[in-house]
């Protein structure tokens, strides 16, 4: 594994995100919704930096194979506070194809959110497939398999304080 973004780089990216959120919302109350599980570290670090009144919750998005060959994204918002009439900040660890972010934004709109602002720690611009862009991305990264700071490989490495890249020989086929 090699380090793509150091712990200090990540901290500075989260600080830039906090500044963006404060500039965007001022002192207005917001509801912050983190996408599970990857955004847990980002969510915790970000809310410590914000001063406005906030409610915090999480949403989970899972892909399931349907009867066709295309997978279907299912959004579970059981742990999300009521967003009806609220200003929402949707927070995710990584923007890859954009399908997850787009599905969750649509889900929150159907739940009655007044406005939805999106922020991601990492963006892989070359992988984008969906017609959506995050309102804020702390870092643009190359199309590599990244781990750490909430991102995992086989449910491991989320606890790393930096963003690392797994090389081909790190991506084993068995356990």
Catalytic sites, residue numbers? 96
8 A C-beta contact, residue 147 and residue 13: no
The three-state secondary structure class of 21 is helix
Q: Contact, 33 vs 88, CB < 8 A?
A: yes
Cα 51 off chain centre by? 21
> Radius of gyration over alpha carbons of the chain, in Å?
16
Cα 150–Cα 155–Cα 159 angle in degrees, nearest 5: 35
Strand order in the sheet with 54-65: 71-76, 54-65, 30-36, 87-95, 115-123, 136-140
Contact 38, 158 (CB under 8 A): yes
């Amino acid at each position: 594994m090699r380090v793509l973004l150091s712990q200090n780089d990540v901290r500075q990216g989260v600080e830039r995100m906090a500044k963006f959120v404060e500039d965007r919302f001022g002192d207005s109350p917001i509801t912050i919704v983190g996408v599970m599980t990857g955004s847990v570290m980002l969510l915790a670090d970000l809310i410590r930096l914000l001063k406005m009144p906030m409610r915090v919750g999480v949403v989970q998005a899972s892909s399931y194979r349907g009867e066709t060959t295309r997978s279907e994204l299912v959004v579970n918002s059981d742990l999300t506070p009521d967003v009806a009439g609220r200003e929402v900040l949707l927070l995710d660890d990584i923007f890859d194809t954009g399908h997850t972010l787009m599905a969750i934004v649509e889900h929150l709109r159907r739940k009655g959110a007044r406005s939805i602002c999106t922020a991601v720690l990492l963006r892989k611009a070359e992988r984008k497939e969906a017609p959506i862009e995050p309102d804020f991305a702390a870092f643009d990264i190359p199309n590599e398999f990244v781990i750490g700071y909430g991102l995992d490989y086989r449910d491991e490495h989320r606890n790393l304080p930096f963003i690392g890249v797994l090389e081909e020989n790190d991506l084993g086929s068995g356990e």
